[in-house]
Amino acid sequence: MAIVSIDSKDNQPLSAKIVAITKDLSEKHTKILADAHKKELDKSIEDTRERSLKPTGNHLKDQIQVEKIDKGHGVGNIAVLNVKAPWWAWINYGKAQSGRTIPPGTKENPRITGHFVPKQKGIFTKGQPKFPMNPKKAIKAHNYIEKALGVMISKVRELLK
Amino acid sequence: MTILHWQIGTNIENSIIEFLRDKVTAQSLQLLDVNGVAKTVNVYAGRELNNEWNLPLIQVYLDSKPDANRLEIGSNKRLRSFQIIIDIRTLLPGQETNLGDWVEEQINDGITIYDYTPNSSNPEAPVKVILGHGRIDFITSMLVPGYDDADQYDQNRYRLTIKVWING
């Protein structure tokens, strides 16, 4: 029986070396997956878009970013989204975080007046000309989170085959 | 003139609804309201919430079709998946999670998928033939965050996302 001894150059235990390499690889994998997931989220947001992109202000897509977290990388920091794009939940689940399902209108708040830009499938924009607006229909659930996950899970399974 | 009848997506949607309704009936499944009165669990189809629906309820609809992989090179036979959203809405907090668990348990072994064709003599009972067995993958299973002033349909809500796989 032959016994092979492997020493690391810097005299660190081999097990520590393997753990470090594995951890690094694992982090790189989560980064690749997170980047791919971000692309799928962007795609599903665009695919389910009902109105044109608003010309100014925060956009949901831009607020969903890949971030380094404790054990790798994550996509979409909910604390950031709650501040910069709080409508993320409304669009996905068809329900605002305030609990409402139908957006507020002029009857509820007289300051909500404005117009749509562009006129067809546009975004409601405050300012002149000021027309009243009273939505009656609830926002539909777009399920962009689930759509992206559904695609990503298939991609990961293909990779692991 | 050809009138297009239900295609695979609607067939799968309706197969799940019928499957869950049968399970609810077979088990006489009920949940208590705030007064302790037992209420039967309803199963409805459709993405948009209907204010005439009665709680507690299970809402089922086809959301997307994320996979359509070729089964083999040179064949147009595909392994398709149909992503279904199951939103569970209940009268009291905690019930939504329990009902979510119940749904997961019922559909875990997959469901029979039927091909439905209209029945003019009895429109409520379309003619159906077995199309195959739909396998289930669970994609998400979680509470939808609730708030005190939420609409009654959204106060206690649980969402399951499943993929139904079928060859064809």
Q: Select the more confidently predicted residue: A113 or A19.
A: A113
Pairwise CA distance, residues B47 & B55, whole Å: 16
In chain B, residues with a C-beta closer than 8 Å to the C-beta of A143 are: 63-64, 85, 161
- DSSP class of residue A95 equals S
Q: Could you read off the pLDDT of A66-122 as tens digits, one per residue? A: 999 888 899 999 999 999 999 999 899 998 877 788 888 899 888 889 888 877 888
Q: Which residues contact A17 (CB under 8 A, 6 or more apart)?
A: A8
What dihedral angle (degrees, nearest 10) is formed by the CA atoms of B130, B133, B134, B135?
170
In B, what residues contact A, Cβ < 8 A?
A: 47-49, 63-64, 66-67, 81, 83, 85, 87, 137, 139-140, 144-151, 153-155, 157, 159, 161, 163
| A74 and A123 assigned to the same domain | no
| A81 and A30 assigned to the same domain | yes
Q: Are strands B157-167 and B127-144 parallel, antiparallel or unpaired?
A: antiparallel
| A87 and A110 assigned to the same domain | no
Q: Could you tell me which of A72, A69, A67, A70 has the C-alpha nearest to residue A22?
A: A72
- A98:B146 CB<8 A: no
* Nearest-CB residue to B145 (from A94, A97, A151): A97
Where do we find the tokens 């067939």? B11
* Nearest-CB residue to A143 (from B85, B151, B153): B85
Q: So what CATH class is B8-167?
A: alpha beta
Residue A6 within a domain = no
Going residue by residue through chain B, which has 168 residues, state the pLDDT in tens, using 9 for 90 and above.
888 888 999 999 999 999 999 999 999 999 999 999 999 999 999 988 888 999 999 999 999 999 888 888 888 888 889 999 999 999 999 999 999 999 999 999 999 999 999 888 888 888 999 999 999 999 999 999 877 777 788 889 999 999 999 875
| A80 and A112 assigned to the same domain | no
Residue A5 within a domain = no
Pairwise CA distance, residues A161 & B45, whole Å: 35
- Rounded to the nearest angstrom, the minimum Cα separation between A93 and chain B is 8
Q: Could you read off the pLDDT of A140-155 as tens digits, one per residue? A: 899 999 999 999 998 8
| A60 and A131 assigned to the same domain | no
In chain A, residues with a C-beta closer than 8 Å to the C-beta of B154 are: 95, 99, 101
- Total domains, chain A: 2
| A131 and A141 assigned to the same domain | no
Q: Determine the structural domain holding residue A110 and report its residue range.
A: 103-135
CB A155 within 8 A of CB B69: no
Domain ranges of chain B: 8-167
